[in-house]
Chain A
C-alpha cells in the first residue's frame, strides 16, 4: 500500500549557539544554572529596556551559511514575532522574517545505496530563545527565564526529503556540521538542537503537494524517525479510508509512541511579524564574510573522503572516526605521531580508537579530549605493538594504566618489565621444558588433538607472565610438535 505513496518532508532545525552571552544582553548562556539566575532587566523584558545585538551570533550564522553553501545577505533585518506566553517576557520574540541573513543553500546527504542526494536549505536566520514553562509540579505553572534571549539559528530545509530515513540523515548531517563548526553542541536531549517537521504524502506521479501537518516535540534522533514514520502512516491510512488530512500541529508523545494534535486554538497564530524598530540593519560586507571563510574547518563529508584515500581506511572506519570533529582530530594527531606510518598502523590506530577509546567515552560520557590518554601516547603504544616490543594483549593492560594515570606507555612497560620476549632461543628453551614435562599431552596432540596447541601456548605464557611473543611461540611450538612425526 505504501508503495503507491510518496512522502514529502521538510525540516526546521533550531540550534542553540555556543556564545558566552545571550543574543541581546550580556547575561551568560550557561545551561543548568539555578532557575531565573542568568537574567537582567533586558532579557526579563522590563519596561524601557532595549536589545543590543551580540555580534558573535552574526559570525556563527554566517559560518553556518557558508558551510551549507548559502548566499549571505549584505543587509538583513530583525523582526518581531508577536504572541502571548508567560515564558516570553516581551510578548514577542526577536527573530528574522523578511531578509534573513542566509538563504538558498544546500547540503549533501548519503543514501543507503551509497548514492548521494542534495537537500536544499531555504534559509537560515537568527533569533532568540524563549524561556521554559514548568507545568508538571503540583502548584501553579512556573517560569524559568534563564533561556530567554539565548541565541538560536533556525535552519529551514526545502521539502525535499522523501522518507524518514532521509530526514534522519539530513538531521544527522546538520548536527555534524554545527558541531564541527563549534557553534552548537548538538545535544537534542538537552534541547540545544531541536527539530520540527512538515510532513505530507501524495500518490506517486502527482505534481502538487497535499495538505501538510507539522510535527513537533521530537526530542531525540530516534524520536524524529519514529514520529515521522507514525505521521506518514497516519496520513496514508486516512487517504486510504477516503478521508482527508487536516492542516494542524501534532506533538510527539515519546511514551505512548503517538503524535497528538494540538488544540486548534493554540495552533491558530497570527504572529504579526514586523521589522524590530529597536535594532538596526545587520550589514555584512565582503571583508567580514572573507574573514569568517578563513575560519571554516574541514567539514565532515570532505574529511570522510580524505580518510579513505589518505589513510586507506575502510569506509566504515572513516565514518565512525569523522562523526565527531574531536574524534577525527584525535585520530589525525595520533597518526601524525606514529613512527611507523603505513596502512596497517593507520588501521591499528583506527581500531584502537573505535573499540577502546570510543567505548570509554561512551561509558563515561566524556569528550575524547578529556581522556588522560593523549594522542602522542596512543601513537607510542601503537608503535610498540607494530614493532613487536609488546603484544596486543599486554597493550590492553598498558592502555588501562594509561587511562588511569595518563602515563606514557614506555614508562609503564619499563616499570612493569612488560617488554615482549621475542628471543627465539630463550623461547625454545622454555618450550622444550614444557614439552618434556608434559609427554602425555604431546602424544595426544600428535594423535590429532590439534586444539591442544592452546594448552602449550598457555603454559608458555604462564611461565613468561604473558610476555612471550605469541607469533614466535606458535612457530616454535608447531615446529617442535610436528617435527617429531
Chain B
C-alpha cells in the first residue's frame, strides 16, 4: 500500500492479497497515519481495536471468497451520524458524553457491505459552519496546508480522506458541507439528490436540506459508497422509492451528446481569476471529449443565501429543541428551576454559531414574522427550484465553481459570520432545489491549494455527474 499518495479501492482490488496487502495491513497503515498527524484533529474518536478486529475478520472472509460490496473499504464517518453503542457528539459540548442507541440506516448498510468504520470525524458543531472551526473539540486543519481551513462543516471527513486516514468517508451536506471541504482539500465529494440516501440516524440540522454523501479520492470510490448507502428506507418518509443504478457500469467514459450549462450568475467578478482559469481549462478538455456547452441563467440566484439562512435556521431552531438537558446530554449543574435547567443547559452546551442560528430561526418563525420571512423564503425556494427545472429542459447538467476562493486561512473569517456564509454561495442553491452535485479536484492555485469545480445534476441523476467526474480524473492521471 502507498503510504503517501492516495490509495483507492481499485488499488486494493487489483492487488493479489498477501500479508502486505491484507486488510489488516491497510487498516494498520491508516491507523499509523492518523497517529502521525494527530494535529490535523480530524477525528472525534478512532476505533483502533475494533477496526483491527474487523480487518482480521474481513481477511478471513476474503480467504473464503466471501467478498461483499465494500469488503476492506476503510471508511470514516462524520460524528453527526448515529452508530449503535458509539458516542455521537455532533462536535458539541451538549452531546459530549452521549452514546447512541441505534445504527443509522447508512451505517447498517455499510456494515452489511463489510466496510470497516475506522472512526468518527470532527465537524462544525451540528454541521453549522463552513470552515471546521466551530467544533467543541477544536478546529480541524487542512492536510494540504495546515495553516488553512479544510472547509466545513464535514471538515474531518474531508481531511481524513485527503490525509490518507481512510479510503473514503461519509459527510453531510446541508448547504455545501460536503462539496466545499472536498474542494478545499482536493478530493471528490458528492452530495446526492434529496431523498436518495436515508436520513434516519443523521442528526438533523435542517431536515429538508440535509443529505448524507461520500468523500473519496476518486469518483469510482464515491460511486461505490453511494451505491451502498442509497435507496428507499421505510424509516425515512422523505426517502425516495427510486431504483439505485449500478454506477460503475455507467461510468463508461462516453461523454458524447452531453450538454452542460454554464450559469452566468456563477461566473461574476467575485470569482477568483485562478479558479476561473482552471474552469476554462476543464471546459476545453470536456469539449475535446464531445461535450457541448451553453450559457444558461438562474435568475433567482441572488436570493439564494437569504432564503437558505431563513429556512435552515427555522428548521434548526426546532430540530435542536430536544437538547434541553431534561432527558440526555449536558445538564447545567447551576439550575434550581425547570426553566433555569433549559436555559442554562443550552447556554452552556451550545457554541456561538449554533446559538446564532437558533436565535435567527426562532425569530423567523415567531408570530408576526412568519409570513414575512419563513413563508416568503419558501416561495423563493420554489422559484429557485423552478429556475433549475427550466434550465434542465435544455442541458444535462451544470458546471460551476465549488467555492469563490480556495481554502482560506484559519481564523480568517471566524469574526465575520456573513463573510463565512458567502463562502457557500455556489453550493447552497443545490440544497434549496434538492439536486445532486459533486465537487471534483481541478488543479491547484499558485499557492498550491486545490481548486474544486462543481457539477450539478438533475434530480436522481447522480450517474451523469459521476461519469463526467470519472473522465476528468483520468485526464489528470
Contact = CB atoms under 8 A, between A and B. Distances in A.
B301 interface: no
B234 A47 contact: no
A86 B335 CA distance: 14
A376 interface: no
B203 A92 contact: no
A405 B88 CA distance: 61
B237 interface: yes
Interface in B228-246: 234-238
A48 B202 contact: yes
Contacts of A400: none
A274 interface: yes
A278 B98 contact: no
B100 A143 contact: no
Interface string A26-60: 00000000000000010011111111110000000
A125 to B, nearest CB: 18
A277 B207 contact: yes
B399 to A, nearest CB: 30
Contacts of A270: 366-367
Interface string B68-109: 000000000000011000001010000100101110100000
Contact of A278 (B237, B328, B374): B237
A272 B366 contact: yes
A84 B366 contact: no
**Considering residues A44, A49, A53, which has the most beta carbons from chain B within 10 angstroms of its beta carbon?**
A49
Interface in A234-286: 270, 272-274, 277-280
B215 interface: no
A467 B202 CA distance: 79
Contacts of B98: 47
**Considering residues B317, B327, B342, which has the most beta carbons from chain A within 10 angstroms of its beta carbon?**
B327
A92 B365 CA distance: 13
A279 B327 contact: no
Contacts of A41: 101-102
B237 A48 contact: no
Interface in B319-350: 320-322, 324, 326-328, 338, 342
Contact of A46 (B100, B202, B320): B100
A82 interface: yes
A90 B327 CA distance: 10
A262 B314 CA distance: 29
Contacts of A279: 237-238
Nearest to B95: A47
A485 interface: no
Contact of A48 (B204, B321, B327, B342): B204
B133 interface: no
B326 A80 contact: no
Question: Chain A contact residues (Cβ within 8 angstroms of B): what range?
Answer: 20 to 34
Contact of A277 (B101, B208, B317): B208
A470 interface: no
B200 interface: yes
B272 interface: no
Given A53-B237, A86-B327, A274-B318, A48 B365 contact: no
A182 interface: no
B207 A272 contact: no
A29 B472 CA distance: 56
A62 B88 CA distance: 40
Interface residues of B, number: 43
A272 B362 contact: yes
B315 interface: yes
Contacts of A92: 318, 321
Contacts of B199: 50
B318 A272 contact: yes
Contacts of A50: 199-200, 235-238
A47 B88 contact: yes
A143 to B, nearest CB: 7
Contacts of A90: 321-322
B370 interface: yes
Contact of B326 (A49, A51, A86, A278): A86
Q: Taking chain A's interface residues, is the majority helix, strand, or loop, or is none over half, making it mixed?
A: loop
A89 interface: yes
A44 B314 contact: no
A475 interface: no
A390 B460 CA distance: 80
A280 B239 CA distance: 10
Nearest to B315: A277
B324 A48 contact: no
Contacts of B351: none
A89 B327 contact: yes
A277 B317 CA distance: 13
B61 to A, nearest CB: 29
B201 interface: yes
A140 to B, nearest CB: 10
Interface string A56-94: 000000000000000000000000101010100111100
Contacts of B100: 46-48
Nearest to A52: B237
Interface in B92-128: 95, 98, 100-102, 104
A141 interface: yes
Contacts of A278: 204, 207, 237-238
Contacts of B315: 274, 277
Contacts of B321: 82, 84, 90-92
A141 B338 contact: yes
Given A48-B104, A49-B200, A50-B199, A82 B318 contact: yes
Nearest to A81: B318
B327 A143 contact: yes
Interface in A202-258: none
A48 B106 CA distance: 12
Nearest to B90: A47
Contacts of A47: 82, 88, 90, 95, 98, 100, 203, 322
A141 B317 CA distance: 26
A51 B318 contact: no
Nearest to B326: A86
A80 B237 contact: no
A84 B317 CA distance: 12
B238 A280 contact: yes
A86 B322 contact: no
A89 B322 contact: yes
Interface string A122-152: 0000000000000000000101000000000
Contact of A274 (B201, B314, B326): B314
B183 to A, nearest CB: 27
Contacts of B320: 91
Interface in B215-237: 234-237
A155 B27 CA distance: 60
B143 to A, nearest CB: 28
7 contacts: A41-B101, A48-B81, A52-B234, A82-B318, A272-B317, A272-B365, A278-B237
Interface of B: 81-82, 88, 90, 95, 98, 100-102, 104, 199-204, 206-208, 234-238, 314-315, 317-318, 320-322, 324, 326-328, 338, 342, 362, 365-367, 370, 374
Interface of A: 41, 44-53, 80, 82, 84, 86, 89-92, 141, 143, 270, 272-274, 277-280
The 8 lowest CB-CB distance pairs between A and B, nearest first, are A91-B321, A277-B208, A272-B365, A277-B207, A86-B326, A47-B203, A48-B201, A48-B82
Given A52-B236, A273-B365, 8 more contacts: A47-B203, A51-B237, A80-B318, A90-B322, A277-B207, A278-B204, A278-B237, A279-B237
